[in-house]
Every structure is written in structure tokens, then in C-alpha cells.
Amino acid sequence: MNECRIAVIGAGVIGQQHLATIAKAADKAKAVALVDPLPASSKVAENVGVRLFPDTASLLKDGGFDAAIVASPNATHVPIALELIDAGIPILVEKPVAETARAAIRLAEAAERKNVPVLVGHHRRHNPIIQEARSLIAAGRIGKPVVATVIGAMFKNAGYHDVEWRRQPGSGGPMLINMIHEVDLLRYIFGDITEVVTLASSAVRGLDVEDSAVASVRFESGLLANFTVTDAAVSPWAWDLTAGEVPKRFPALPASAHYYSGTEGAISLPDFHIWSYPGEKSWYEPMMPEKHTVQPEEPFSVQLKHFLSVVDGNTEPLVTVRDAMQSLACVEAMLFSAQSRMGPVSPQSMLS
């Protein structure tokens, strides 16, 4: 395929991010359509020079596209994706893959039955920093992984919550919007999570969704990890604010957000320092940091390149529906643990 014609469904922040990414893809991809029922979407469509449709049915009736990116609200991911799969259209579905992990099962089965490729948009997996860290850890650079700490603390302005779905349980709150990224990254690096325990609070904003949460999890390997997320605290310690993945939207502050410790060393990300003992391993001895350099690339652009290869049938999706379903099940288990004050909770219980 010389130039992949892509329809983007959803004219919100992420939909516009995908449109901007496609625009930089030269002759490899071209945005040809936008689907969104809201009046404001007409200006977005006009700015990028694409046809505007009010719904997926009218898009499919008109045709003229080869693949689609579903960047609509969470609750619409599955019904829209099922329409596209039924028409045989390869798709990229934004995270979280579905409104619930159970709903994602239906999507996975439909894609498998129709043999239509579906890539889920956990774009951070495509970051060269993550790819390199995963390779080093798999090669034993820090020995056996023991503990991990992830912080996603940032302050989202009041206007952010003017969008209704961001205030609604099942779609809003930093656990579904932000924590799912962190959970997916650690699953990608360290493997499956077997149990979770969570505390959540809405004490700052008083909305129906949490504004802060702390979750402790156990991995199948025995690794223990702690996740802290909030959108109501001033802090530089968040992947969004330190990795420089989306320079036009977020700053790239000189701080870290992920900390992984093993029996032979430790890694902090995204600053990518590797800590180890040059001699005897002992807390009485000094440690030496090594700054690991990785050639940066924009994860959304790398993801798009991968998606085009998936559409062409040259490669399998890096993030399948069933894979993304497991990350969503972990976050659902965290939410259930916080709401019920039960623990530990198994993510697999969210799928049964």
C-alpha cells in the first residue's frame, strides 16, 4: 500500500493528536475523514482538510478509507470497533480498549473471528526508552527485579473536568485515564499481575471519580510494585511531564517517575540512570550511576509506523486486544479494591 487512507473517529485531544501524527507521515499515510457528532468538530475537520461524518455508519457508507483510529470516549470503543471489524477495516483503538475488561472479550472474539487486525493505543510501549529498559531488564542488567515504584502526580486545571465523561465513573478519574498507562508499561516490562490492593480518595475535588489513588500489586514473578496517581497535586513526578513524548502539549521536566530495583542494580525512568555497585554489594558502600543514552523518537509516530505495518499484514500488533484487556482488568481490580475496601483482588476476577 503506497499511502494508507485513515479515518479518525473522535475529534477530542487524542483524536487531534493522531491527526497531527498522520500529517507528519509524508506519503505513507493520509487522514481522509473525521467522525464526531459535536459541532466543534467541524472546525477540526476544516483545519486538517478532511471529510466530516456524524457517525461510523455514515463513514462506512461513504467509504474511501483503508484503516481507522478509534479515539472516541471509552464507552463507545467497543460498539464503534465492532462496526469497523464487521466491515473488515483494520483499526487502532485507543486505551482503555473498552469500557470494561469483560466488554473487551467481545471485541477480541470478533476480531479473531473476522481475522481483522486490531492494535490498541498504549503508545508508551513504542517509546525507545521503554523498549531499551525492557531489553536490559530481560538481559539481567539489574538482576532479579524485586520492587518498583511508579509516580504519576500532576495538577490538571479545573477546565479539564468540564468535559462530562471525565467526571463519570467508568470513564473518568486518574486511575482509568492515567494509571492504566503505568500498569500497562509495568506489565509489558515485568509480566502479569496476580493481585492488587488499593486506596482512593476524592477529597480534593469532591467529584464522583477519585482524584488520587495508591495501589500495591504483586506480579506473577514475585515482584512487588507501588503505583501513586493523582491529578490534583502540584508535582513534576509524572511520565507525561518528564518523558517529552508530546512536546506541544506537555513540558519535559528534569525529573523521574519510574523506579525499578533488582538484586544487582536499579533503573530510574525516563531520565534513564542505572545504579549499581562497582565493587562489593553493601549499603555501606557507595553506588555509581550510569546515564544510559537512547535515541529519542516520538512514540505516537513510532506507533503509527507500526500500525501501518499491521494494516499491510507485515507484522502482528504489539498490543493486542487480549493484552490490553489484561491491563484494563488490573485497573478494574484496583477500582474494585478501593470501592469495596477489599484486598487483595485478582485481576482475573474482573474477567469471569
78 and 187, same domain (yes or no): no
Q: What are phi and psi of 308, to 5 degrees?
A: -65, -35
Percent of the chain exceeding pLDDT 90 equals 91
Per the domain annotation, does 84 fall within a domain? yes
Q: pLDDT band at 243, cuts 50/70/90?
A: very high
Take residue 312 and report the three cell numbers written for it: 499491510
Cα separation, 237 vs 218, in Å, equals 23
Query: What sign has the CA pseudo-torsion 196, 197, 203, 208?
Result: positive
Cα separation, 181 vs 95, in Å, equals 8
Domain CATH for 92: 3.40.50.720
CB atoms within 10 A of CB 31: 23
Parallel, antiparallel or unpaired: strands 51-53 and 67-70:
unpaired
pLDDT of residue 163: 86
Per the domain annotation, does 14 fall within a domain? yes
- Compute the radius of gyration of the chain from its Cα atoms: 20
Per the domain annotation, does 258 fall within a domain? yes
Domain that holds residue 292: 125-297+330-340
pLDDT of residue 35: 98
Cα separation, 338 vs 227, in Å, equals 13
Residues 6+ apart with CB under 8 A from 206: none
At 247-285, the pLDDT tens digits run: 888 989 999 999 999 999 999 999 999 999 999 999 999
pLDDT of 96 > 70? The answer is yes
134 and 191, same domain (yes or no): yes
- For residue 200, the cross-strand partners are 213
87 burial (CB, 10 Å; 0-12 / 13-18 / 19+) is: middle
Cα separation, 329 vs 350, in Å, equals 6
28 and 67, same domain (yes or no): yes
Residue type, 62: D
Cα separation, 87 vs 250, in Å, equals 37
Structural domain total, the chain: 2
Angle between helices 13-23 and 41-48 (to 10 degrees): 10
At 157-194, the pLDDT tens digits run: 989 999 888 998 888 999 999 999 999 999 999 999 99
283 and 152, same domain (yes or no): yes
52 and 200, same domain (yes or no): no
Q: pLDDT band at 111, cuts 50/70/90?
A: very high
Per the domain annotation, does 350 fall within a domain? no
pLDDT of residue 2: 79
114 and 159, same domain (yes or no): no
Per the domain annotation, does 352 fall within a domain? no
120 and 176, same domain (yes or no): no
Strands of 193-352 (E only): list them.
Answer: 193-201, 212-219, 224-230, 258-262, 266-269, 273-276, 288-291
Q: pLDDT band at 1, cuts 50/70/90?
A: low
Cα separation, 188 vs 202, in Å, equals 29
153 and 90, same domain (yes or no): no
Domain CATH for 261: 3.30.360.10
Per the domain annotation, does 238 fall within a domain? yes
- Number of residues written out for the chain: 352
Residues 6+ apart with CB under 8 A from 262: 137, 142, 143, 144, 145, 146
Q: Which helix (H) or strand (E) segment is 123 a member of? A: none
Per the domain annotation, does 85 fall within a domain? yes
104 and 239, same domain (yes or no): no
Cα separation, 87 vs 194, in Å, equals 37
334 and 290, same domain (yes or no): yes
198 and 215, same domain (yes or no): yes
List the one residue out of 11, 6, 24, 15 whose CA is nearest residue 302. Answer: 24
282 and 166, same domain (yes or no): yes
> Average pLDDT for residues 199-213, to the nearest whole number?
96
The predicted model scores a pTM of 0.94
Per the domain annotation, does 285 fall within a domain? yes
CB atoms within 10 A of CB 62: 12
